[in-house]
């Protein structure tokens, strides 16, 4: 009994420390976003005396909305292709897993999890440059391709729990493979699809490396992470304006994660264990 309480106390202590590590940066981001430079110089950690919105106005000047539009477009288009292609490929693999070719394809795609991005970074740059894809379309193609490893792993695991009798019943009713997938299998996959969408949206929206490699030809192609990274060039060292930019950038994805959190946890559990 006493040992159980000690373990529980340690668990709560670790959770509390983790919460503090997350909440302190969040507090500083919100705090500095609504402060003037004079207030920050007087007291860095004290709450603001009022809601100063000048930092947000400074962020939104110039090309901010262009970069916001780039991030929204790239994220939405990438997610559209991921929502279509990953379930289709996963369905084909899961229903033909006993065949050697499909099993090989599955493990070949899965092996990408063990390859660090730094290993393929230079070859990706070389090949995308040779195909004239150092632009937003090339970035979308890379996001879709790189999403396959995790997405197919989770989706195939999820599909293994959907009985083959459903496929056979739909065939008896006159449905082809496409109709079976669209009308029966895809709706049943919605929990894992929502999970894949949430995980990849977080990654694509916040990604810095791929946009830095593929979108460095023109500032007009930049996404929000690149825009935030170049704050020091446009705004000097105005930390209040920079933190206002951080807050604006975080808000859309925080809202999305808040709505999708419960589906994310259930989908990850079902896709990884079934």
Q: For residue range 213-272, list pLDDT tens digits in order.
A: 888 878 888 898 888 887 664 545 677 888 888 888 888 888 877 777 666 655 555 544
Q: pTM of this prediction?
A: 0.83
Give the closest residue to 138 by CA, choosing from 84, 224, 225, 216: 216
Enumerate residues 6+ apart whose C-beta is below 8 A from 31: 45, 47, 48
Question: At 43, is the secondary structure helix, strand, or coil?
Answer: coil
What is the rounded CA–CA span in Å between residue 155 and residue 260? 17
Query: Considering Cα of 107, then 108, then 111, then 112, what sign does the dihedral take?
Result: negative
Q: What does the DSSP 8-state code read for residue 112?
A: G
Question: At 216, is the secondary structure helix, strand, or coil?
Answer: coil
Residue-range domain boundaries for the chain: 1-52, 53-273
- The superfamily in CATH containing domain 53-273 is MetI-like (1.10.3720.10)
Give the closest residue to 183 by CA, choosing from 197, 196, 166: 166
Q: How far is CA 119 from CA 7, 88, 110, 143, in A?
A: 41, 28, 16, 16
Specify the pLDDT at position 137.
Answer: 93
- Outline where 133-176 has alpha helix (H): 136-159, 164-172
Residue 135 burial (10 A CB sphere; 0-12, 13-18, 19+): middle
CA atoms within 13 A on the CB side of 268: 10
Mean pLDDT, each 10-residue run in order, the chain (274 residues): 75 88 85 84 80 83 86 94 94 88 90 84 87 91 92 89 83 85 88 88 90 85 86 63 84 78 59 46
Specify the pLDDT at position 47.
Answer: 82
- How many residues can be counted in the chain? 274
């Amino acid at each position: 009994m006493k040992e159980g309480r000690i373990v529980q106390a340690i668990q709560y202590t670790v959770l509390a420390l983790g919460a503090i590590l997350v909440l302190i940066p969040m507090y500083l981001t919100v705090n500095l976003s609504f402060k003037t430079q004079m207030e920050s110089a007087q007291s860095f950690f004290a709450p603001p005396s009022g809601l100063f919105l000048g930092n947000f106005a400074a962020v939104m000047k110039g090309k901010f909305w262009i970069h916001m539009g780039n991030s929204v477009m790239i994220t939405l288009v990438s997610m559209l292709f991921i929502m279509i292609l990953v379930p289709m490929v996963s369905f084909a693999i899961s229903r033909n897993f006993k065949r050697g070719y499909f099993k090989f394809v599955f493990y070949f795609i899965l092996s990408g999890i063990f390859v660090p991005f730094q290993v393929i970074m230079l070859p990706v740059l070389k090949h995308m440059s040779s195909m004239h894809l150092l632009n937003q379309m090339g970035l979308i193609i890379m996001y879709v391709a790189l999403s396959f490893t995790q997405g197919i792993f989770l989706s195939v695991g999820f599909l293994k729990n959907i009985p083959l009798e459903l496929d056979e019943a739909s065939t008896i009713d006159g449905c082809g493979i496409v109709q079976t997938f669209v009308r029966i299998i895809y709706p049943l996959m919605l929990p894992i699809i929502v999970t894949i969408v949430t995980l990849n949206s977080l990654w694509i929206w916040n990604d810095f490396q791929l946009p830095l490699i593929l979108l460095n030809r023109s500032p007009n192609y930049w996404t929000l992470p690149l825009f935030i990274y170049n704050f020091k060039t446009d705004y000097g060292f105005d930390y209040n304006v920079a933190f206002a930019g951080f807050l604006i950038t975080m808000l859309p994805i925080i809202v999305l994660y808040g709505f999708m959190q419960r589906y994310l946890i259930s989908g990850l559990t079902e896709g990884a264990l079934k």
